[in-house]
Amino acid sequence: MLSTTKSKSCLAALAASVPLSVAVFGSSPDGAERAPVIEMPHWGYGYHRNLDKDEIDRLLVEIPDPERLRRWHDLLAERPHRAGTPGDEQVVDRLVEIFESMGLKVERHPFWAYLPEPVDAAVEIVSPDRLSLAVSEPAIEEDPDMAHPELDIGWNAWSGSGDVTGRVVYANYGTIEDFEKLEELGVDVEGAIVIARYGRGYRGHKAKFAEAAGAAGLILYTDPMDSGYMRGLVYPEGGWAAGWYIQSGSLKTLPWAGDALTPGYYAGEDVERLDPEELDLPRIPVQPIGYDAAHEILKRMTGQGVPSGWQGGLPLAYRVTGGDELRVRVMVEQRAEIRRQENVIATLKGAHEPDRFIVVGGHHDAWGHGAGDPLAGTICIIEAARTFSELAERGMRPARTIVFAAWGAEEYGLIGSTEWVEERMGQGLRDNCIAYINLDMSAMGPRFRASSSPSLRRAIAHASTVVPTAGNPDKTVYEDWVERGADAVFDDEPRIGDLGGGSDHVPFWFHAGVPSAGFGAGPTDGVSYHSNADTLTWYRQIVGDDYESALMVTRMTNATVARLANLRFVPLSPARDGVAAGREADRLARLAIQRGIISDGTGASDGAAPDREQLRAWVAVRMIGEHDDVGHVIRWMEDERMERLAKVESDGIGAFNRDTIERARSFIDDEGLAGREWYKNFLISTNPNTGYGNVLLPSLRDALDAGDGEAFWRELVRLNRMMERSSTPGV
């Protein structure tokens, strides 16, 4: 528990030791201990003054219905629905119908995206013997959906087309470190067929690094150690990957999300487009296979053994090189064209502040039937929409507008969501979009989890106190969640991670700067990800047929959105962005001093010495980064200001909310990050080397990695202004 006294005296000691006064937090709280369960004192000041707030929370939990979740699942997972296929058009039609039946205003939002499709592929052992390996998954008796004629072969969208044969090199997970290791081992990758396992990063980066190392082709496979029999029983007996399981998926690693030919602007029908030939997409053929097929290749390898950590779960000692005799062929043919796609946008207009809105979204396209990815999220969006529609019908229309979105062509590079965001950027999205909640493959198990922008965390944590956890009506999500680990700064809140890449929150958070969250639930005792086994049969056998997980995710969505939509005070905590930045800046600054890149102003280092403005930034960093009790101060500030403002007039609240939303965009700079200017968030970005991960303070990190003291100070000063803006109320 946090001690106020300590907080006060430590702050005082810190203040006395620094030469500049920095108005980051104002003064410190007066002595009340916080309860171990998170509270939101301003939760009472909602728009629905005539209703008990507990009554609303009760309805948000009661209305969602597992039978209806099941029905949405039946409707949407009936047929394979890859973007650009008739199956996906049918899904769009059904979504429009469903949302319209709830009385929502529904828009088919079109965009014209450049989309690839598979034509042909082969992987073959050419010598010492000739053996053709499977590039498609079988129809298995226990899962009739897997025999659907519209299912594809396994493929990696955006692969180069070509037909190559070569020696074999095993590259572990194909990460940048793995390719560095190969170089260190003196392994010649030039002209080789690289085989690498899925995992530890986005598949597109594996292709990028393989091509950069000179590989002629790349084979990706799922190793049994990572997702097969070494994890548990395999499908159809259990849920884990059988030897035939093939993960398909995109390889795009362009420095912008969305349509490949319209970077940073809406892919309308008639806009000017890039020439596809100029795009930095893979040139080499890349083909995914299953581990039975990979076994055939690996067991014919006769070269040197692998370094520590490279062994997988196939029954042989893995080797880095294939030896003199082994030759493998990879052939891939794909074609791409510009196609009209649609987002489905269903709107429930707010009663009091209709221009301000919250977006709840997820994609509708899949690789196959998509029962897990995306539909285990999509069905929760629908059921949340039904909850708020029903509340509106009962006279409890939300104060602010809620937009329910089903995005198109996510699987080819987050296209639908990005095009919508890019189109709305000039139409007040930044000023009026309070938050984005992403639900993609969310309901996959009994334990709730979330990643989000720091400024959204308190609202999510508070929502979790009113929702029962899956399968246990007597325990809240909050209790179950916080048991698994508390937040590093706020010790009565559950641990909520930072968002990475890989789903439709990317344009909202990393491009537009809208505070975002991704909701999910696990663990899942198996994997059907991006495989033809991602069917209702798999889902109901492995995740469950009771829809308890989807029910919980829907309720969490409801409770979170209700707080964002109904509280008179927009429940964002922009100062938490500042805290996150300060802590990371402190860490990076220590590293920079250690490496002699910058000096701390005491003259102890050879690094670039700070000037007055830099020193001011430096002190702010120390204020936040080194201070144990910073969480306590922030919490006090959040509550104190809300409570004080609760007593003022509506006009004051309007200004306060405008200010809050603006401050929650403090880390956005339209200049963008060097080398990938589409990314405009200086607090956090996706990790350019892994795709799925993230980097805090990317511009400062780049300066550190480059050993550039001048750039380090420049970025620290920029970030300090952002930190101050996030933490210093304008009203």
Is residue 185 a contact residue for its own copies (CB under 8 A)?
A: no
Which of 48, 79, 231, 563 binds its own copies (CB under 8 A)? It is 231
The residue (of 18 and 225) whose beta carbon lies closer to its own copies is: 225
How far apart CA 501 and CA 570 sit, in angstroms, is: 26
- Residues in CB range of 293: below 8 A, 6 or more apart: 123, 133, 134, 135, 221, 243
How far apart CA 336 and CA 63 sit, in angstroms, is: 44
How far apart CA 703 and CA 277 sit, in angstroms, is: 32
Find the shortest distance in angstroms from Cβ 691 to its own copies.
28
Window contacting its own copies (CB under 8 A); options: 66-74, 306-314, 497-505, 554-562? 306-314
Query: Both tokens of residue 478?
Result: 């909050």
The residue (of 12 and 185) whose beta carbon lies closer to its own copies is: 185
Count of residues in contact with its own copies, rule CB under 8 A: 17
Window contacting its own copies (CB under 8 A); options: 254-262, 314-322, 353-361, 460-468? 314-322
Nearest-Å Rg of the Cα atoms of the chain is 26
Is residue 300 a contact residue for its own copies (CB under 8 A)?
A: no
Q: Which stretch of DSSP H or E encloses residue 194?
A: strand 193-197
The residue (of 439 and 527) whose beta carbon lies closer to its own copies is: 527
Contact between residue 449 and residue 481 where contact means Cβ atoms under 8 Å apart: yes
> In DSSP terms, which residues pair with 68 in a beta bridge?
none
Considering only residues 239 to 258 of the shown chain, the ones binding its own copies according to CB under 8 A are: 240
Which of 3, 90, 136, 311 binds its own copies (CB under 8 A)? It is 311
Window contacting its own copies (CB under 8 A); options: 5-13, 95-103, 231-239, 576-584? 231-239
Angle at 176 between CA 172 and CA 180, to 5 degrees: 80
Residue indicated by tokens 């990957």: 241
Which of 229, 471, 472, 546 binds its own copies (CB under 8 A)? It is 229
The residue (of 155 and 170) whose beta carbon lies closer to its own copies is: 170
Find the shortest distance in angstroms from Cβ 528 to its own copies.
16
Considering only residues 32 to 51 of the shown chain, the ones binding its own copies according to CB under 8 A are: none
67: three-class secondary structure by DSSP: helix
547: three-class secondary structure by DSSP: coil
Find the shortest distance in angstroms from Cβ 647 to its own copies.
47
The 635-674 contact track toward its own copies, x by CB under 8 A, reads: ----------------------------------------
How far apart CA 335 and CA 120 sit, in angstroms, is: 10
Find the shortest distance in angstroms from Cβ 237 to its own copies.
8
Find the shortest distance in angstroms from Cβ 243 to its own copies.
9
Window contacting its own copies (CB under 8 A); options: 278-286, 307-315, 378-386, 504-512? 307-315
Find the shortest distance in angstroms from Cβ 473 to its own copies.
26
Which of 314, 470, 623, 723 binds its own copies (CB under 8 A)? It is 314
Find the shortest distance in angstroms from Cβ 296 to its own copies.
13
The residue (of 232 and 693) whose beta carbon lies closer to its own copies is: 232
Is residue 232 a contact residue for its own copies (CB under 8 A)?
A: yes
Find the shortest distance in angstroms from Cβ 298 to its own copies.
11
How far apart CA 188 and CA 604 sit, in angstroms, is: 45
Q: What is the DSSP letter of 507?
A: I
Nearest residue to 220 (alpha-carbon basis) of 184, 190, 178: 178
Active-site annotation holder among 410, 493, 548, 715 = 410
Which of 46, 199, 224, 515 binds its own copies (CB under 8 A)? It is 224
Is residue 458 a contact residue for its own copies (CB under 8 A)?
A: no
The yes-or-no answer on residue 39 being catalytic is: no
Nearest residue to 194 (alpha-carbon basis) of 55, 104, 301, 69: 301
Q: What is the DSSP letter of 529?
A: T
The residue (of 324 and 671) whose beta carbon lies closer to its own copies is: 324
Cβ count near 85 (within 10 Å): 17
Query: Both tokens of residue 530?
Result: 């991006």
Which of 191, 255, 313, 323 binds its own copies (CB under 8 A)? It is 313
Which of 110, 236, 238, 323 binds its own copies (CB under 8 A)? It is 238
Nearest residue to 28 (alpha-carbon basis) of 11, 49, 52: 11
Window contacting its own copies (CB under 8 A); options: 234-242, 255-263, 417-425, 511-519? 234-242
The residue (of 110 and 303) whose beta carbon lies closer to its own copies is: 303
Find the shortest distance in angstroms from Cβ 232 to its own copies.
5
Which of 56, 83, 234, 527 binds its own copies (CB under 8 A)? It is 234
Q: What is the DSSP letter of 676?
A: B
Q: Does the bond joining 523 to the residue before it have cis omega, within 30 degrees of 0? A: yes
Is residue 323 a contact residue for its own copies (CB under 8 A)?
A: no
One-letter amino acid of 484: R
Find the shortest distance in angstroms from Cβ 265 to its own copies.
49
Is residue 297 a contact residue for its own copies (CB under 8 A)?
A: no
Burial of 651 (0-12, 13-18, 19+ CB in 10 A): exposed
The residue (of 87 and 445) whose beta carbon lies closer to its own copies is: 445
Report CA-CA distances (Å) from 413 to 93, 249, 443, 561, 577: 22, 10, 22, 26, 27
Q: What is the β-pairing status of strands 516-522 and 168-170?
A: unpaired
Contact between residue 292 and residue 243 where contact means Cβ atoms under 8 Å apart: yes
DSSP 338-401: EEEEEEEEEEE--SSEEEEEEEEEEE---SSS-TTTTHHHHHHHHHHHHHHHHHHHTT---SEE
The residue (of 234 and 261) whose beta carbon lies closer to its own copies is: 234
Contact between residue 319 and residue 169 where contact means Cβ atoms under 8 Å apart: no
Cβ count near 47 (within 10 Å): 19
Is residue 315 a contact residue for its own copies (CB under 8 A)?
A: yes
Considering only residues 257 to 276 of the shown chain, the ones binding its own copies according to CB under 8 A are: none
Is residue 485 a contact residue for its own copies (CB under 8 A)?
A: no
Is residue 316 a contact residue for its own copies (CB under 8 A)?
A: yes
Window contacting its own copies (CB under 8 A); options: 135-143, 232-240, 386-394, 614-622? 232-240
475: three-class secondary structure by DSSP: strand
Active site residues: 410
Instruction: Please report, as ranges, the residues that interact with its own copies according to CB under 8 A.
Output: 224, 229-234, 238, 240, 305, 311, 313-317, 319
